[in-house]
């Protein structure tokens, strides 16, 4: 049992445990927030998960929640539980950079819909987490503000683009975080840090106020250390929004109920499809081993394991790297020095725009803008963007056929455990390959989860287990994820993150 007077133990509790403890009166929100702020101060120097720490406002929110709770007022489930927000979401009054120097110092005049929902849920916002610039990357090395380090091994990447959010969870700096997933930016960081991350169905969470990378692929989602915590946060974030024309006009899935059901009742009658194309060659041995072990657990829980084939997935990476840069090249045009952000003054507006973008954007961003601009150009459109959209349709058909045979599909989240910082910095293709298993879900708009599968025996680093469900069936992820998590945690004797080496604490 958690000793709520011990700040270290406090930061190692789950979000739902924190919420329960506050309701029971054993801890206050101010104590929770303070414990996490202290932890950030102690370890974030070497980890560098945060770009901005919002201490004052977080404590004020916490104090207000505590005061309301004292009066017996009804409060939302996660009221008072601290949260970190990826710097891709605009937050009124807090700097928002999307990891780019071009937005350094910009204070958004408005809140993203999800930011507003977090505030309405009375959750103290600890700060903004680091990310690859404009979410372009799988390592957080491409942040304009320096890389984030993986708490499991500070020389390794925490995944990307949401490496700040995943590292902050693994480093016990926050119990909850928000991420965005365009090709795996929630799931792959979760995999390589031993945490949980969910990409909801496209349209399930409003994108309004999320700085766009690729509009047809981007989706915001919850990150935590347990499946149930991600479920609870998913319910806070989800729902229709009139400000986002692509948001789904349907009720938020009952994620928490599904997670509890899965943990309590096992998986009898559930058919689970292993995607043949997402495994085998190119996948690290320890990753394959942990994945197989996960399948054994699922079988033991009563699920039937079948193999499915998705032959078009071999084109997914290529299609993705045409669609994403194309949309990004247009989405990033607005960073032109005229209304906000960096301005490098020259004698004409064209030169000022050019100089600002040359100085403000990093190499990976420029690489993708150039790719996308080329792919959309007259004469190339049909061959590139047009063909990529056709591949997208094929991938959707593959998924539709696979979901005829299985309730959910599973695969390793990433082919390898985290690579070393700097190892692939000059080899973008090698970095892109890390997303090979996560990208198909974005191309099809379906929901996906990554949860810890254990550590690879050869390097002792975390491995992620990916679950994919049909569109609108996000609840299935939580049911199956929670059942598997329960079995694994029983095997490990605690959450995977607790097996990570202790970080050195700054004096």
Partner 1 sequence: MTAATHLVGYDDAMKAFDPVFGIEVHVELNTKTKMFCGCENTFGNEPNTQVCPVCLGLPGSMPVTNEKAVESAIRLGLALGCSIRESSRFARKNYFYPDLAKDYQISQYDEPTSYEGELEVVLDDGTVVMIGIERAHMEEDAGKNTHVGGTGGIQGASHSLVDYNRGGVPLVEIVTKPIEGMGERTAEVARAYVATIRDIVRALGISDGRMEQGRLRADVNLSLRPKAADGEDQSAVPFGKRSETKNINSLRAVERSIHYEAGRQAALLLAGQPVVQETRHWHEDTSSTTPGRSKEEAEEYRYFPEPDLLPVEPSREWIEELRATLPEHPAKMRARLREEWGFSDLEMRDAVAADALTLIADTVAAGAAPQAARKWWMGELARTANEQDVTLPELPVTPAHIAELQRLVDEGKINDKLARQALEGVLAGEGSPAEVVASRGLEVVSDDSALEAAVDDALASQPEVLDKIREGKVQAAGAIVGAVMKATRGQADAGRVREIILARAGVEG
| Residue numbers at the binding site for partner 1 (CB under 8 A) | 89-90, 96, 98, 103, 106, 108-110, 112, 207-212, 214-216, 242-246, 326-327, 329-330, 333-336, 338-340, 349-350, 353, 373, 376-378, 381, 385
Q: CB of 130: closest distance to partner 1 in angstroms? A: 17
SS (H, E, C) 256-269: HHHHHHHHHHCCCC
Q: CB of 467: closest distance to partner 1 in angstroms? A: 26
Burial track 445-457 (b if 16+ CB lie within 10 A, e otherwise): bbbbbbbbbbbbe
Active site residue 168: no
Q: CB of 445: closest distance to partner 1 in angstroms? A: 12
Active site residue 185: yes
- Of 241 and 485, the one with the shorter C-beta distance to partner 1 is 241
Measured CA to CA, the distance from residue 196 to residue 440 in angstroms comes to 19
Q: Is 356 helix (H, G, I), strand (E, B) or coil?
A: helix
SS (H, E, C) 368-411: HHHHHHHHHCCCCCHHHHHHHHHHHHHHHHHHHHHHHHCCEEEE
- Of 10 and 365, the one with the shorter C-beta distance to partner 1 is 365
CA nearest to 31, candidates 65, 54, 68, 71: 65
The residue from 14, 86, 247, 337 that is catalytic is: 86
C-alpha dihedral sign at 484, 487, 491, 492: positive
Q: CB of 63: closest distance to partner 1 in angstroms? A: 29
SS (H, E, C) 176-194: EEEEEECCCCCHHHHHHHC
- Of 98 and 446, the one with the shorter C-beta distance to partner 1 is 98
- Of 208 and 399, the one with the shorter C-beta distance to partner 1 is 208
Q: CB of 210: closest distance to partner 1 in angstroms? A: 6
Active site residue 326: no
- Of 216 and 309, the one with the shorter C-beta distance to partner 1 is 216
The residue from 14, 138, 139, 161 that is catalytic is: 161
The residue from 138, 185, 312, 329 that is catalytic is: 185
Measured CA to CA, the distance from residue 155 to residue 141 in angstroms comes to 12
Q: How far is CA 236 from the centre of its chain?
A: 15
Q: CB of 334: closest distance to partner 1 in angstroms? A: 5
The one-character DSSP state at 506 is P
- Of 115 and 150, the one with the shorter C-beta distance to partner 1 is 115
CB within 8 Å of 109: residues ≥ 6 apart: 92
Catalytic residues: 86, 161, 185
């Amino acid at each position: 049992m958690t000793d709520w007077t011990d700040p270290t133990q406090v930061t190692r509790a789950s979000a739902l445990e924190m919420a329960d403890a506050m309701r029971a009166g054993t801890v206050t929100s101010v104590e929770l927030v303070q414990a996490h702020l202290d932890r950030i101060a102690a370890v974030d120097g070497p980890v560098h998960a945060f770009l901005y720490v919002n201490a004052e406002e977080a404590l004020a929110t916490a104090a207000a929640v505590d005061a309301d709770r004292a009066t017996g007022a009804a409060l939302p489930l996660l009221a008072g539980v601290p949260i970190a927000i990826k710097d891709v979401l605009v937050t009124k009054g807090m700097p928002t950079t999307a990891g780019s120097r071009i937005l350094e110092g910009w204070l958004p005049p408005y809140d993203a819909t999800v930011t507003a929902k977090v505030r309405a849920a009375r959750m103290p916002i600890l700060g903004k987490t680091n990310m690859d610039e404009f979410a372009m990357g799988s390592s957080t090395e491409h942040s304009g503000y320096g890389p984030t380090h993986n708490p499991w091994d500070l020389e390794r990447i925490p995944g990307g683009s949401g490496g700040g959010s995943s590292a902050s969870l693994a480093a016990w700096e926050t119990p909850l975080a928000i991420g965005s997933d365009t090709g795996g930016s929630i799931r792959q960081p979760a995999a390589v840090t031993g945490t949980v991350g969910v990409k909801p169905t496209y349209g399930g969470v409003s994108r309004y106020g999320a700085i766009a990378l690729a509009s047809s692929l981007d989706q915001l989602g919850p990150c935590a250390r347990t499946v149930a915590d991600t479920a609870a946060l998913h319910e806070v974030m989800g729902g229709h929004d009139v400000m986002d024309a692509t948001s789904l006009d349907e009720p938020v899935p009952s994620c928490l109920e599904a997670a509890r059901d899965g943990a309590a009742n096992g998986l009898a009658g559930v058919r689970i499809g292993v995607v043949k194309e997402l495994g085998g060659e190119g996948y690290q041995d320890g990753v394959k081993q942990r994945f197989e072990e996960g399948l054994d657990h699922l079988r033991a829980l009563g699920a039937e394991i079948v193999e499915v084939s998705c032959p078009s997935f071999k084109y997914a990476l290529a299609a993705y790297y045409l669609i994403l840069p194309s949309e990004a090249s247009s989405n990033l045009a607005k960073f032109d020095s005229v209304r906000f952000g960096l301005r490098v003054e020259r004698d004409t507006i064209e030169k000022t725009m050019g100089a600002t973008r040359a100085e403000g954007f990093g190499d990976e961003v420029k690489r993708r803008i150039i790719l996308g601009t080329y792919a959309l150009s007259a004469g190339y459109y049909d061959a590139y963007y047009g063909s990529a959209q056709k591949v997208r349709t094929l991938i959707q058909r593959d998924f539709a056929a696979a979901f005829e045979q299985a309730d959910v599909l599973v695969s390793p989240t990433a082919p390898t455990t985290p690579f070393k910082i700097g190892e692939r910095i000059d080899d973008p293709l090698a970095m892109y390959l890390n997303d090979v298993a996560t990208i198909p879900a974005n191309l099809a708009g379906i929901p996906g989860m990554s949860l810890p599968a254990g550590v690879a025996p050869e390097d002792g680093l975390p491995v992620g287990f990916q679950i994919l469900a049909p569109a609108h069936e996000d609840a299935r992820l939580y049911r199956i994820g929670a059942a598997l998590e329960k079995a694994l945690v029983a095997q490990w004797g605690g959450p995977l993150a607790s097996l990570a080496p202790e970080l050195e604490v700054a004096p």
